[in-house]
Amino acid sequence: MAKTIGIDLGTTNSCMATLEGGEPVVIPNAEGGRTTPSVVGFTKDGQRLVGAPARRQQVTNPENTVFSIKRFMGRKFDEVNEEMTIVPYKVVKGANDDVRVEAGGKQWAPPEISAMILQKLKADAEAFLGESVTDAVVTVPAYFNNAQREATKDAGKIAGLNVLRIVNEPTAAALAYGLDKEGGDQTILVFDLGGGTFDVSVLDLGDGVFEVKSTNGDNHLGGDNFDKAIVDWMIAEFKKDQGIDLGADPMALQRLYEAAEKAKIELSSTMTTQINLPFITATQDGPKHLDQQLTRAKLEELTHDLLQRTVGPTKQALTDAGLSASDIDHVVLVGGMTRMPATQAKVKELIGKDPHKGVNPDEVVAIGAAIQGGVLKGEVKDVLLLDVTPLSLGIETKGGVMTKLIDRNTTIPTRKTEVFSTAEDNQPSVLVHVLQGESEMAAYNKTLGKFELVGIPPAQRGTPQIEVAFDIDANGIINVSAKDLGTGNEQQVRIEGGSGLDQSEVDRMIKEAEAHSDEAHKLRELVDTRNNAESLAYQIEKSLKENREKLDESVASTVEGRIMELRGVLESSDVADIKAKTDALQQAWTEAAQALYAQASSSSSQSQPGNAGDGSAPSDDEVVEDAEYEVVDE
Amino acid sequence: MTEEPTNLDSVEETEETEEDEEVDELAAVTKERDEYLDTLQRLKAEFDNYRKRVARDQQELAARAHERLVKELVPILDDLERALAHEGDVEEGIRLIHRQLADALAKEGLSEIETDGKFDPHTQEALLSQPSDAAEGDVIQVLQKGYRLGDRVLRPARVVISAGSNG
């Protein structure tokens, strides 16, 4: 089936996504970028450039480089008096009082320019996906009127796209977070602070249908303003220190803008950053370097007024929707600037709720559009909307360790089997203790069920093969079975509602596992060390018995002594001591084994000394435990 | 007329068997449908889990690739520190360090973007245009070198281009 792409046709940048196996993925453009500048340039030699290359020649060709075309889409000439004075390209009146832009010696309707951007996206998507793309869902701001929506649709048509639907940007963002599946009536506030525009929308969701209750915003507020505030500060500081105005030097200015953006991004995760621009300029005294420290507090001070400009529109949107902040059920953030902690704090201060996080705010609209595309094409079928296991599942193995069979966040239905064995000689049964949780130790996890598989014929430890299978169906019902592969005996338990934990319970269990993780990890290390030591002692003892007569008494008794010493500390909690004694035993046996080999180099059957040689001695990660996966080489 | 009831009976009988058959068929088809749905769900879940595993592997791979590059850069850091600890003329030393760094990056696939001739917005960014004797649209000065990593533009070259002699 042909792919449908979701396109966020933005004022400054555009982004596209599609569904792959039901999951949205962003499609990178031909240059490798995940977003594409919404810029079209017409060079003097008649070339048409779209995206980053168009932006790169903007400075030298401003009158033929069209950006922010979205501001003119579907507008009448009389409506754009303000916008047309800001852009360096020519805006003229066309037929029916429509807007036309003049570039590259021709007049273009805004949908024609937008179509050029869409065409590039379409071509890049086709190159990426390796198939032709015709169907698309395109997003527009919630406040777009009918003419603006029609113009966007026209742009799609011109670009050779079949626009399945025009979707509001805030609706797409809500879809990306799956808010339509929450059920019941929901009120959602979408806060979109992008590169050059700020939009806030209040949505009402009922019966899976979104309704825009109100919109507001600021057409000229975005990340660019924030970058400029930082650059202005850097220039002022440098002037204070060095008496030089960097603002006059285009190369220096370029470096300042790059550094400002980098610093801004860094300060989203750190409290302070060093802006370091060596050889930023030179005077007669020699080279000058810029070395400034910017703290998050300073950044917030510099951009305080800009951020404050979001308050009025947000409050107005609530008022227009007839709601107060407490009526909002969900807050969704869109646009790169919402990564700034100060922005998130401002939203929380205004609404009193933590916003949804997790989806890249630059891509969230395109992702929502892709999801909508999937719904329209029937790709997202309810029966194929699959759950994940919220917590890991496994069984208890020797020493109280939890051995995970199914990791958390595994998509279900799924099935996993692993072969375990016994821990003692002639062990008649194994207890299968089914656990759920993230801790390495069984005791810290939740017991889902227990059963015993009996009737295991007498055998040396490690010999019986018990296949344990976990099967979770699409409804989260877990079937755990244990089968003795030797006799065919089988036991099983069925656990219902194992995945039916509510989110708070899941969160609590994950938190608890984290809180105990050091403790559990130490305990696990001790258990592993003990199991390893115990199993080594057992195997060497066995090999020693079989080969005793071939060995010097002194060698044999050394090995015996080391076994005794190791067994003597097995119950202690001193990991280092157990390890040291394990190594000592291993070394003693290696010497004994060498003696055996030397003695009966070719006549001796290989399996006996080999048993304790480096190859099959249990290493740290191959621990023998009760019901432990063993490499059975025969 | 006498034959009619018999006929009717036989017809009814056939209908009954047909109904039975239909019920059996429905059960069979339902069972088949459930099996197919289960298979499809399991296949999709498997694909999902596969995708998660690939994403995890990729992350690990990226981290390891990183490690290799960082390993190459650490000796350069050492040498820079040696240069800083040294008093007097270090120009020759710095030159060597620069070559060391350039070589290390070249090994990773870094190459310089050529800037002679006509301005190319695919690999270059124009910061200024100035009147000059060079032909209009020619690069007349490189303000910052540009680089390719493999065949992708890592950073465009920042250049000044000619606006022509009367521009």
pLDDT at A168: 95
Structure tokens at A45: 């030699």
Q: What band does A632 get if pLDDT is binned at 50, 70 and 90?
A: very low
Which of B122, B152, B161 faces A32 most closely, judged by CB atoms? B152
**Contact across the interface for B41 and A415, Cβ inside 8 Å:** no
pLDDT of residue A387: 82
Mutate to test the interface with A, among B49, B115, B118, B159 (most CBs of A within 10 A): B49
Predicted pLDDT of residue A1: 63
Report yes or no: A170 and A142 within 8 Å, Cβ to Cβ: yes
CB contact under 8 A, B49 and A415: no
pLDDT tens digit sequence for A17-32: 999 877 899 999 999 9
- Select the residue from A45, A411, A479 to test the B interface by mutation, using most B Cβ atoms within 10 A: A411
Exactly one of A98, A112, A192, A199 is catalytic; which is it?
A192
The Cα A418–Cα A217 span in angstroms is 57
B138 touches chain A (CB under 8 A): no
- What's the full length of chain B, in residues? 167
Taking 50 as the threshold, does the pLDDT of residue A627 lie above it? no
Q: Is A245 a catalytic residue?
A: no
Give the whole-angstrom CA distance, residue A324 versus residue B123.
51
Nearest to B127 among A22, A254, A411 (CB): A254
Structure tokens at A433: 């203790």
Residue A518 bears catalytic tag:
no
Contact B126, A60 (CB under 8 A): yes
What does the pLDDT read at residue A564? 85
pLDDT above 90 covers a percentage of chain A that reads 55
> Cβ contact (<8 Å) for B38 and A474?
yes
How much is the pLDDT for A35?
96
pLDDT, tens digit (0-9, with 9 covering 90-100), for A523-580:
888 888 888 888 888 888 888 888 888 878 888 888 888 888 888 888 888 888 888 8
Substitution target in A60, A262, A392 with the highest count of B β-carbons within 10 Å is A60
- pLDDT tens-place string over residues A114-135: 999 999 999 999 999 999 999 9
Residues 6+ apart with CB under 8 A from B92: none
Q: What is the pLDDT of residue A121?
A: 97
Q: What is the dihedral of CA B18, B21, B27, B31, to 10 degrees?
A: -130
Q: Cβ A250–B128 below 8 Å, yes or no? A: yes
Residues of chain A with Cβ-Cβ distance to B48 below 8 Å are 21-23, 386, 411
Segment A296-324, tens digit of pLDDT: 999 999 999 999 999 999 999 999 999 99
Please tell me if residue B88 touches chain A, with a CB cutoff of 8 Å. Answer: no
Split at pLDDT 50, 70, 90, the class of A378 is: confident
pLDDT single digits (tens) A248-267 = 888 888 889 989 999 999 99
pLDDT at A545: 85
Is B128–A49 a contact, with Cβ atoms under 8 angstroms apart?
Answer: no
Residues of A in contact with B41 (CB under 8 A): 383-384, 386, 413, 474
The long-range contacts involving A246-251, CB below 8 angstroms and separated by at least 24 positions, are A246/A280, A246/A281, A246/A290, A249/A281, A250/B127, A250/B128, A250/B143, A251/B127, A251/B143, A251/B144, A251/B158
Per-residue model confidence as pLDDT tens digits over A484-506: 998 999 998 888 865 556 777 77
Tokens 């650490």 found at? B74
- Evaluate if residue B103 carries a pLDDT over 60: yes
> What does the pLDDT average to over A54-65?
91
Of all residues in chain B, the percent with pLDDT exceeding 70 is 89
Q: Which residue of B has its CA nearest to A255?
A: B144
A113 in helix, strand or coil? helix
Residue A85 vs residues A91, A97, A186: alpha-carbon distances, Å: 9, 18, 41
Cross-chain residue pair A383–B37, CB shorter than 8 Å = yes
The amino acid sitting at A422 is T
Look at residues B125, B112, B78, B122 and name the one whose alpha carbon lies nearest to residue B97. B78
Is B43 an 8 Å CB contact of chain A?
A: no
- Smallest CA-to-CA distance from A218 within A240, A236, A193, A237 is with A193
In the prediction, which pLDDT does A620 show? 41
Q: Which residue has the tokens 């036991």?
A: A491
Q: What is the pLDDT of residue A65?
A: 95
Q: Which of A324-328, A413-417, B20-24 has the lowest mean pLDDT?
A: B20-24
Q: How far is A56 from chain B, CA to nearest CA, in Å?
A: 4
Active site (annotated) includes residue A8? yes
A418 CB-contact burial (10 Å; exposed 0-12 / middle 13-18 / buried 19+): middle
Mean pLDDT, range A515-519, rounded to an integer: 81
- From A61, A255, A411, residue closest to B49, measured CB to CB: A411
Task: Give the pLDDT confidence of A214-260 residue by residue, as tens digits.
Answer: 999 999 999 999 999 999 999 999 999 999 999 888 888 888 998 99
Among B37, B42, B48, whose Cβ lies nearest the Cβ of A21? B48
pLDDT on residue A20: 86
Q: From the candidates A70, A122, A288, A581, which is the catalytic residue?
A: A70
A70 is catalytic: yes
- Which of A98, A124, A169, A227 is flagged as catalytic? A169
- The predicted pLDDT at position A497 comes to 64
Average pLDDT over residues B77-100: 91
- Put simply, the answer to whether A250 touches B127 (Cβ < 8 Å) is yes
Q: Which residue of B has its CA nearest to A410?
A: B49
Asked if pLDDT for residue B13 goes beyond 80, the answer is: no
Q: Residue B156: its chain A contacts at CB < 8 A?
A: 56
Mean of the per-residue pLDDT values of chain A: 88
pLDDT in tens, B109-129: 999 999 988 999 999 999 888
**Sheet strands (E) in A252-305:** 272-283, 286-295
Q: Answer whether B128 sits within 8 Å of A59, measured CB to CB.
A: yes
Greater model confidence, A143 or A568: A143
Q: Of the candidates A60, A251, A410, which has its C-beta nearest B144's C-beta? A: A251
Among B44, B124, B163, whose Cβ lies nearest the Cβ of A56? B124
